[in-house]
């Protein structure tokens, strides 16, 4: 059974993330969405809120599970018996960071392969930061995030 992990901060999940989850889920038998629980960062959404939003956005995908992790990503991947990390690549600005991440992960766990999925054109500008900025000033994020996430953003900034 091939298990993949799609890790991220997901603060909050965007339609671009969901697109990568949908496409990534076709490449493996089981895809685990791993939400980083980082005590050093102050995210907008709690880990419980992130789990709720991600579970709702992926509820029609039978082979997708949502979990959180702390510590090293490769330790989480190994603990889950996975051997593939899936990440999205939007633009050249993502490239440096993704290469660094993939190479450092490979140097500490060479059994794990990183697969980069090129984002679809319509999501190449989209990020959690952009979404938060638009929502903070009451802009319309309807086309940027799944429906429940839109509600969470509206509640957060109202
Ligand atoms: O959505 P993001 O913020 O780009 O996701 C980054 C993430 C969670 C994939 C990355 O920060 C991560 O894997 N953090 C866990 C610690 C780790 O293993 N770092 C890489 C090796 S130094």
DSSP string over 10-24: -TT--HHHHHHHHHH
What's the pTM? 0.98
Phi, psi of 81, rounded to the nearest 5 degrees: 60, 30
Kindly give the distance from the C-alpha atom of residue 79 to the centroid of ligand 1, in angstroms, as a whole number: 16
Q: Measuring from atom 16 of ligand 1, which residue has the nearest CA?
A: 72
Task: Assess whether 80 carries a catalytic annotation.
Answer: no
Q: Quick check: is 120 catalytic?
A: no
**Are the CB atoms for 28 and 21 separated by under 8 Å?**
no
Report yes or no: 7 and 36 within 8 Å, Cβ to Cβ: yes
Per residue in 23-80, pLDDT (tens digit) is: 999 999 999 999 999 878 899 999 999 999 999 999 999 999 999 999 999 999 999 9
- Any atom of ligand 1 within 6 Å of the Cβ of 72: yes
Q: Is 22 a catalytic residue?
A: no
| Tens digits of residue pLDDT in 67-116 | 999 999 999 999 999 999 999 999 998 999 999 999 999 999 999 999 99
DSSP three-state, residue 143: coil
Instruction: List the beta strands (DSSP E) in 19-59.
Output: 30-36
The protein residue whose alpha carbon is closest to atom 2 in ligand 1 is 8
Q: How far lies 57's CA from each of 15, 79, 92, in Å?
A: 9, 25, 27
Specify the residue with its C-alpha closest to ligand 1, atom 14: 73
C-beta neighbour count of 72 within 10 angstroms? 13
């Amino acid at each position: 059974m091939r298990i993949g992990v799609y890790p991220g901060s997901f603060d909050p999940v965007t339609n671009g993330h969901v697109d990568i989850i949908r496409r990534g889920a076709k490449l493996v038998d089981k895809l685990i969405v791993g939400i980083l629980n980082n005590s050093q960062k102050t995210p907008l959404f709690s880990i419980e809120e992130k789990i709720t939003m991600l579970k709702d956005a992926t509820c029609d995908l039978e082979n997708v599970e949502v979990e959180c992790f702390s510590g090293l990503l490769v330790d989480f991947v190994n603990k889950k018996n996975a051997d593939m990390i899936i990440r999205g690549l939007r633009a050249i600005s993502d490239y440096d960071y993704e290469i660094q991440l993939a190479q450092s992960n490979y140097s500490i766990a060479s059994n794990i392969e990183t697969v980069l999925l090129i984002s679809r054109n319509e999501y190449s500008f989209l990020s959690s930061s952009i979404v938060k900025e638009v929502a903070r000033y009451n802009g319309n994020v309807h086309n940027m995030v799944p429906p429940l996430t839109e509600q969470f953003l509206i509640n957060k900034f109202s």
